[in-house]
Amino acid sequence: MPAKAADPVLTYKLNPRPPALKLPALACDSHVHVFGPATRFAYAPTRNFTPVDAPKETLFALHRKLGIGRCVIVQSAIHGFDNRVVEDAMAAGQGRYLGVALVPANVADAELRRLAAAGFRAVRFNFMKHLAATASMDDILALTHRLKAAGLHLQVHFESSMVHSLAAALSRSAVPVVIDHIGRVDAALGAGHADFAALHALLKNPLFLVKVSGIDRIDPHPPYAHGVALARTLVQSYPDRCLWGTDWPHPNHTHVPDDGELVDALAGIAPTPKLLEQLLVHNPQRLYRFTE
């Protein structure tokens, strides 16, 4: 259902507090979005809400404040399959900002090659109730062979209970698979819950990586102690296959988190300098292949 054009939603704090934690050089925010400006990059008519513009200039200023030197921008359903808003931000980011695209499963090989040349490193598919599915798993698995040829990987976003049904299929992917937001588990249920246990077991397969972003999505109560605990479990168990991001500007959320607080939570997620640098610098570099 198209969103109402009026009454846009502010999803991010205009003045987040400066974090106390000093991040390592070239720290990467591996999951953000950009919205608009709508006067230049139209919002998709199929979007489920209308956001306040969150353009690249605001994102760049936020990263300067947080001490972040690299970034991966994920195309949002707000803009649908029109990836120009991310391409524009990547061009302005001068090699320090790369992207994840949204595409239909029948996207042409030439378009995949063009996206890769523009700085995209993956394509993303959603399996969330609030976002319309755009492809079947069979179609996505077939696409992964073409992604491999283009030098792209697969990123997936799913409801926590779907880890049980999707695990076997995703294990047949021809390219690495990045799982968003700690698999969207309910952090209050703890590490022993079946959904988190299945996610943890799935990561034993070196094909998979996980974003320990979204502690504020799986635990809606700042300072997100339950979310931090699960993220730390994954980072300590799989230090070479975890990525982190703020998820700015926080669309489809229960509340508006403070990005400075999310950065400071890294002290609990990656509690040693070695783990922190692995999470923020080495893992993103290996997967996304930054050139700057």
DSSP string, 157-209: EE-GGGHHHHHHHHTT-SS-EEEPGGGG--GGG-TTSHHHHHHHHHTTSTTEE
Residue 105 lies in a domain: yes
Residue 3 lies in a domain: no
Q: Are 215 and 246 in contact (CB under 8 A)?
A: no
Each of the 292 residues of the chain gets a pLDDT tens digit; together they read 344 445 799 999 999 999 999 999 999 999 999 999 999 999 999 898 999 999 999 999 999 999 999 999 999 999 999 999 999 999 999 999 999 999 999 999 999 999 999 999 999 999 987 565 678 999 999 999 999 999 999 999 999 999 999 999 999 999 999 999 999 999 999 999 999 999 999 999 999 999 999 999 999 999 999 999 999 999 999 999 999 999 999 999 999 999 999 999 999 999 999 999 999 999 999 999 999 9
Token representation of residue 222: 């700042």
Look up the CATH number of the domain holding residue 284.
3.20.20.140
Amino acid type, 193: H
Residue in this structure with the two tokens 């003045």, named with its chain if needed: 15
Residue 168 lies in a domain: yes
**Structural domain tally of the chain?**
1
Active-site positions? 247
What was the pLDDT predicted at 98?
98
DSSP 22-33: PPPTT-EEEEE-
Residue 269 lies in a domain: yes
Q: Distance (Å, rounded) from C-alpha 103 to C-alpha 124?
A: 8
pTM above 0.85, yes or no: yes
Q: Distance (Å, rounded) from C-alpha 256 to C-alpha 100?
A: 23
Strands annotated E in 169-215: 177-179, 208-211
Amino acid type, 66: L
What was the pLDDT predicted at 3?
42
User: Three-class SS of residue 114?
Assistant: helix
Distances (CA, A) of 223 to 66, 98, 248, 257, 262: 17, 29, 17, 10, 8
Q: Are 75 and 50 in contact (CB under 8 A)?
A: no
Token representation of residue 181: 């937001």
User: Three-class SS of residue 4?
Assistant: coil
In 3D space, the residue among 259, 193, 270 whose CA is nearest the CA of residue 228 turns out to be: 270
Q: Are 226 and 188 in contact (CB under 8 A)?
A: yes
Q: Distance (Å, rounded) from C-alpha 22 to C-alpha 66?
A: 8
Give the dihedral of Cα atoms 49, 184, 119, 133; nearest 10 deg.
-60
Residue 100 lies in a domain: yes
Q: Are 210 and 203 in contact (CB under 8 A)?
A: yes
Residue 15 lies in a domain: no
Domain, as residue range, for 45: 28-288
Token representation of residue 96: 């320090």
Q: Are 93 and 59 in contact (CB under 8 A)?
A: no
Residue 143 lies in a domain: yes
Residue 216 lies in a domain: yes
User: Three-class SS of residue 255?
Assistant: coil
